[in-house]
Amino acid sequence: MNKFRTSQRLSGLLAFALSGLFYIVVVALVLFWIKNRPVEHPSFNPAPLNLSFAQIELQAAKPPPDLSRRNEVKPALVPPDAAEVAIEPKPEEPQPEPEPVRVEAQVTQAASAPAIQPVSRNQLLDWVRAQIEKEKYYPQAARNAGYEGQFRLLVKIGADGKISEAVVVDGKGNPLLRRSLEKIMAGLKGRDFGQTLESPVELPFEFEFKLN
């Protein structure tokens, strides 16, 4: 069975090789015939030129063209009226008169700002005293122990009307009372009087813890 298949494959390859060889031979013969075939050149028989006597005389009398003048530049034709036309200047159009510039007087900030109303020292003292009264308290532990004390305070108000500093300067009393008073003073910082002042102000106060 294997021998039969092998013989079939060999016969197929042989047939393919023979057909390829035949194709190559045919192509070679065609190329050889094309290369060696005779080429027929057409015969050239010029037609006779017939001229009459009148044409010959006209060609003899006509002067040959002057080739030297062929490259001359011909002047451009200018219409005769173009040089005589005078250029008239355009009449100037009347310019509109400039509008007057209105200069508005600028009001300075100092002039536009409202005038600072004078504030008395007593008004500031009453206001700061009222702020302290809102925040003061007597520590219950110090009350139960019977502690009392007197302290000196200092409050500074800036020109913008706000409290910039509020501190306990000195005093006599239990540390528990001093610490509670320092908390009260710290809560006053930044309070606004609501009106600007001519200059910063320093206000001293006396504060007393006393049991009734």
Instruction: Name the strands in the sheet holding 201-209, side by side, starting at the edge strand that comes first in the sequence.
Output: 163-172, 149-157, 201-209
**pLDDT for position 151:** 96
Is it the case that residue 110 has pLDDT exceeding 60?
A: no
User: Which position has the higher pLDDT, 195 or 8?
Assistant: 195
Residue 163, amino acid: I
Q: In CATH, what is the architecture of 121-209?
A: 2-Layer Sandwich (3.30)
- pTM for the complete prediction? 0.45
Calculate what percentage of the chain has a pLDDT beyond 70: 60
- Going from N- to C-terminal start, the domains of the chain cover 1-32, 121-209
**What's the pLDDT band for 90 if we cut at 50, 70, 90?**
low
Res. 123 pLDDT band, cuts 50 70 90: very high
Assign 108 a pLDDT band (cuts: 50, 70, 90): very low
pLDDT-derived band at 16 (thresholds 50, 70, 90) equals: confident
**47 vs 161, residue with greater confidence:** 161
pLDDT at 89 over 50: yes
Mean pLDDT, to the nearest integer, of 63-91?
A: 52
Question: Is pLDDT above 70 for 204?
Answer: yes
* Residue matched to tokens 């009449």: 91
Mean pLDDT, residues 24-44 taken together: 71
Predicted confidence at residue 28, as pLDDT, reads 84
Rg (CA), the chain: 64
DSSP letter at 67 equals G
What dihedral angle (degrees, nearest 10) is formed by the CA atoms of 50, 55, 59, 61? 150
For residue 105, pLDDT beyond 50: no
45 token code pair: 């028989």
